[in-house]
Structure 1
Amino acid sequence: MIIRDFLAWTQNASASRRAEATAVLTRAYLYGNLSADQAWEAKTALLTLLDDPSPLVRRALAETCAASARTPRPLVVALACDVPEVARLVLARSPVLTDADLVDAAALGDETTRAVIAARHHLSHAVSGALAEIAEADTLVVLARNPTAKITAGRMLRMLERCGAEAPLREALLARADLPPEVRHAIGLAVAQALSGFVTNRGWLGTERCDRLRREAGERVALEACEGFGAAGIARLVAHLRTTQQLTAGLILRAVLSGRTDFAVAALSDLSGQDHAGVARALRDPRSFVDLHQRAGLPDALLPALQAALAALEDMARRSTPVPSAGLSRGIIERAIDACNSQPGAGMQPVLVLLNRYEAEAARDEAREVARAIAAEAMARETARRNAQAADAAWRAALESQRRTVFAPSADAPEVAVALDATAEPHNPVGAILDALPEQILAWYRTEEPAVDMQAKAATEAVLDGLGDSLLDHFRVSHGLAAKPDAVSGSDKAKIAA
């Protein structure tokens, strides 16, 4: 009955009226208490609306049922294959769609449709992987900024491989809380590649020099990417570097010269096949380290430098000398240079050149730190000086405002023109304050004797003269005065009167 009446009514209704009726019927099916027969009829009526020629009707149907998990799957799948403005409504929110449906829609849809899919909540690994392979840079940025999207490290690396030159994509990936260390390292390499290409295109530096600077920047980024990750994260980064042929002897030497023994242990363990505990013991034993050095396949020319650097680290640990938290240590580098200078042979020259370059880099890093500290101290002093000036200015302004308020003339008082005299004495603010005080307050502080009432004085003397001698004697004894029974002195009378 519902489907027949509804279809009959839609034959002559306008598109807007049909859209309103569609929304009402959809809400009744999803949230109304319909019987089984009524629900079947309503479902059939909704499916027939997929053939409505007006996009307004199908859009109203998609808007109403997009977020509901009770929507019939055939209806959602059909709407997902509709025109883009209708399909995007269900692709963005519908929980009925499976990963296969979303991957198919991403493959067949336009870039805006892919961006809508990339912004879905709790996007799965499969859909994220499909978008990483086919989506453009803008859509990949939307995917990277989606905190609920599950993206594997391999797919993040693929995104950087395809669009790593795009700065918004790198920034979006760096903002993710689940960013693995190998992806952080790849982002650093992408930044170094972009800067190197810019410098080379400008003709500021040669290609070979830019390649060496980019390689050294990659080594620094590899060590910095380990910050905040445990042994498992470092081992994961080492495995990635070895797979991509970026785990070089120079990187291991830099790690030792920087005091990053955790990275050196993971790298040597990966190259030699020994466990981490055995590698850690070998780093403290010179003879065992020679065997480890050979099993890892490192060049023989690096052995003296590595041994000297490890010995310097042991000495610093015994003396509790702090190792630089980031960057190369000049003290360790100097020990390594001395050890290489004592070794004869032309094969040590490349190692010495590398160590000298590391020493220059460490010196520049130390100079930068000193300059930053000096600048921060100067900035703090300048800030304190400006704050003191601002506080002093505020105090003076408040004092001036209070002075103007206290000494401002009354609005009811007539204005009196006073001629200014160059010889006149300056205004005395204390006198002005005293003049403004009430007469009762000033009377408390006056020192002159008040006027004597003669009648009251005569009455008091008459009373004193009439007092008996026994009362006066008692008064003298209570006040410690000498007793004279024959007479009453004037001072005694005055005290009694008081």
Structure 2
Amino acid sequence: MVAYQEFVSLSRSPDSEDRGSAAHLSALAYLNHDGPADEHAALYAALIGFLEDPSVKVRAALAYGLLHSPMAPRPIMLALLHDSAVIARAVLQYSPVLIDADLIGLVRTLDVPRLVSISQRSKVSARLAAALIARENMGLTQRLLRRADIAFAEGQLLALAEMHGEDAVTRGILLARKDLPAAARLLLVQKATAALRQARIVKGALAPDRLGRLLRDSEDTALTAIGEREASKPSPSYVSDLVASERLNTRVLLHAVVTGHVMFFADCLAELAQTPRLKVFTLLESGSRAALNALLARCGLPEGVRNLIARLVMHARATDLADDAGARHYVVTALTEELIAEHDGVIPDALEEAFAYLSEQNILLARKAARGVMAAFAIEAVKPMALPADASEALLALPAA
């Protein structure tokens, strides 16, 4: 216990250490007070008095005593906001008394270290985060985007992807966010693909044609995978946006089925045919060939493409295309051979895009399906490898000249 006279002596001491002790004690006494009102008022007046102390140590001791309490007096905490940098940063970061209205007005004028202190508060609202991002400091923006607890608006995340998607670090941080809207995720994938295409280490490792095929296949896979995740949402707009931007084509539809992204494929057909999703699912699961062709005709697909996709759906019903690379390779090979045989090797113009896709996939899937096959076979093989007998004639040996 400290007598009030002793407290007054400490608060009037020429030694800043003593005054700092008095400031801290008065803060604790005020926050834990349960006595008469006049005593509480006297403690409040003492806190106000310490704001005028010339020593930073004293004011820091006062701030430290009040810093984490939701019961700290707002006028005092607001006054400490304009104190020395070390005190102001601590108050900005930790004081629960401050609300968005207090902070947003300051964000427009504060220096970067104080803005960083605000970004490190235990709770940052979307409104406050938007005000901080509006300062257009890349480091501050990245710090905020790394916080999964901040609920950014979808429009703001899309705008950030458009503005800063060229920066690899920001792109990675945005892609790591689970709440990133599908349109922003697809945009960032496209920017990442463009960056890989221009990277010297990538360009130097692969021939241009093969690099183009790999990147195009990866981009198609990302597009359909994003659509598969969006398909589980109550009212996905991803597919309608693809249709509106003319990003949905035969290649994408084929890739969705080949990679096992059936939900996305069904959403695409439902959007193109303006047919309920449930009806589309039923037709894909058990509809006849004629019913499938009728659905695809409503989607506006040419006859040759309709027949090809209908065949692919029939294969997909009996095959695990989502996880089995060997099954994918078998289906793509079968479709390619059927097209060649059906048209006597002269592929119609309407099927050129689909045939080019199947040819690309045949190579890629063959590579995937072949990985590890020989190694696994060699472990179980009993007989040695059968090789043809050496039938070449013995070479005439001439003596050295």
Instruction: Tell me the TM-score normalized by structure 2.
Output: 0.73
Shift of 1:221: 0.8
CA distance in 1, matches of 2:116, 2:280: 48
Tell me the equivalent position of 2:67.
66
Determine the structure 2 residue equivalent to 1:411.
none
Alignment partner, residue 307 of structure 1: 307
The answer on whether the counterparts of 2:230 and 2:236 sit within 8 Å (CA) in structure 1 is no
The residue that corresponds to 2:281 in the other structure is 280
Counterpart position of 1:158: 159
Q: Distance in 1 between matches of 2:206 and 2:367?
A: 24
Q: Distance in 2 between matches of 1:56 and 1:375?
A: 72
Report how far residue 158 of structure 1 moved. 3.1
Shift of 1:204: 8.8
For residues 159 and 270 of structure 2, the distance between their equivalents in structure 1, rounded to whole angstroms, comes to: 28
Q: Which residue matches 1:367?
A: 367
Whether contact under 8 Å (2:16, 2:57) holds in the other structure is yes
Aligned to 1:13: 14
Separation (CA, whole Å) in 2 of partners of 1:46 and 1:285:
82
Letter in 2 for 1:104: G
Alignment partners' CA distance in 2, 1:358 and 1:203:
27
1:29 Cα deviation (Å)?
A: 0.9
- In 2, the alpha carbon distance for the partners of 1:375 and 1:116 equals 57
8 Å CA contact 1:305–1:340 kept in 2: the answer is no
User: Aligned partners of 1:68 and 1:267: how far apart in 2?
Assistant: 54
Counterpart Cα distance in 1 of 2:190 and 2:353: 24
Counterpart in the other structure of 2:320: 322
Aligned partner of residue 274 in structure 1, secondary structure: coil
Q: What is the CA–CA distance in structure 2 between the aligned matches of 1:95 and 1:136, rounded to whole Å? A: 25
The 3 A distance-change label for structure 1 pair 94 and 282 is same
Query: 1:221-265 CA distances to partner (integer Å, 9 max, x unpaired)?
Result: 122335666621793543454566544443223213334221111
Aligned to 1:129: 130
**How far did 1:70 drift?**
0.4
Distance in 2 (CA, whole Å) between partners of 1:246 and 1:87 is 51
**1:102: Cα distance to partner?**
3.3
2: CA distance between counterparts of 1:247 and 1:157? 20
Alignment of 1:77-476 (within 5 A): 77-176=78-177, 181-199=182-200, 216-225=217-226, 231-232=232-233, 235-239=236-240, 241-242=242-243, 246-283=247-284, 284-290=287-293, 292-293=295-296, 295-298=298-301, 300=302, 303-317=303-317, 320-325=318-323, 329-334=328-333, 336-337=335-336, 342=342, 348-349=348-349, 351-371=351-371
Structure 1's 349 and 139: CA in aligned 2 closer, same or farther, altered over 3 A? Answer: same
Stretch of structure 1 that moved more, 261-270 or 285-294: 285-294
Asked if the contact 1:200/1:210 (under 8 Å) is kept, the reply is no
CA distance in 2, matches of 1:52, 1:244: 64
1:26 to partner: Cα distance: 0.9
CA RMSD of aligned residues (A): 4.3
Cα 1:179–1:72 change in 2 (3 A) is: same
- The answer as to whether partners of 1:132 and 1:158 remain within 8 angstroms in 2 is no
1:24 and 1:377 mapped to 2: Cα distance?
A: 79
- 1:487 maps to none
Q: Paired residue for 1:393? A: none
> Does the 8 Å contact 1:255/1:264 carry over to 2?
yes
Deviation at residue 350 of structure 1 after TM alignment: 6.7
- CA gap 1:137/1:264 in 2 versus in 1, 3 angstroms: same
| Aligned mates of 1:375, 1:155 — CA distance in 2 | 50
- CA deviations on 1:104-149 (whole Å, 9 max, x unpaired) are 3433323333333333334322223334444533323322332432
8 A Cα contact 1:312 1:332, kept in partner: yes
Structure 1 residue 214 displacement after superposition: 5.2
Instruction: Give the C-alpha shift of residue 94 in structure 1.
Output: 2.1
Rg larger in 1 or in 2?
Answer: 1
Q: Which has the higher contact order (CA 8 A, sep 6+)?
A: 2
CA spacing shift, 1:107–1:374, aligned 2, 3 Å: farther
In the alignment, the residues of structure 1 paired with residue 244 and residue 35 of structure 2 have an alpha-carbon distance, to the nearest angstrom, of: 61
Quick one: structure 1 residues 360 and 96, their matched pair in 2 at CA, closer, same or farther if it must change by over 3 Å?
same
2:88 and 2:376 map into 1 onto residues whose CA distance is 56
**Match of 1:322, SS?**
coil
Give me the whole-angstrom Cα distance separating, in 1, the residues matched to 2:103 and 2:49.
24
Q: Give the 3 Å change call, closer, same or farther, for CA 362–74 of structure 1 in structure 2.
A: farther
Gaps of 5+ in 2: 380-401
Distance 1:109 1:250, change over 3 A: farther
Residue 27 of structure 2 corresponds to which residue in structure 1?
26
**Counterpart amino acid of 2:328?**
S
The change in CA–CA distance for 1:59 and 1:366 in structure 2 (over 3 A counts) is: farther
Does structure 1 conserve the Cα–Cα contact (< 8 Å) formed by 2:89 and 2:117?
yes
In the alignment, the residues of structure 1 paired with residue 98 and residue 220 of structure 2 have an alpha-carbon distance, to the nearest angstrom, of 45
Partner residue of 1:484?
Answer: none
For 1:221, the aligned partner's letter is: A
Judge conservation of contact 1:67–1:93 (CA < 8 Å) in 2. Answer: yes
Native 8 Å contact 2:104 2:128 kept in 1: yes
Matched residue type, 1:196: R
Q: What's the secondary structure of 1:231's corresponding residue?
A: coil
1:254-298: CA deviation from partner (whole Å, max 9, x where unpaired): 213334221111123234432102333454355555554455455
1:42 aligns with 2:48: no
Q: Deviations over 1:305-335 (max 9, x none)?
A: 3432333332452xx4332427793344345
Aligned-residue identity in percent: 24
Structure 1 pair 285–177 and aligned structure 2 pair: CA distance change class (3 A): same
Q: 1:310 to 1:172 in 2, by over 3 A?
A: same
**Alpha-carbon deviation of 1:68?**
0.8
- 5+ residue gaps in structure 1? 380-498
Letter in 2 for 1:64: G
Instruction: Report the Cα distance in structure 2 between the residues aligned to 1:91 and 1:38, rounded to whole angstroms.
Output: 29
Paired residue total: 373
Counterpart CA distance in 1 for 2:266 and 2:228 is 15
Cα 1:105–1:5 change in 2 (3 A) is farther
Q: TM-score, normalised by structure 1?
A: 0.61
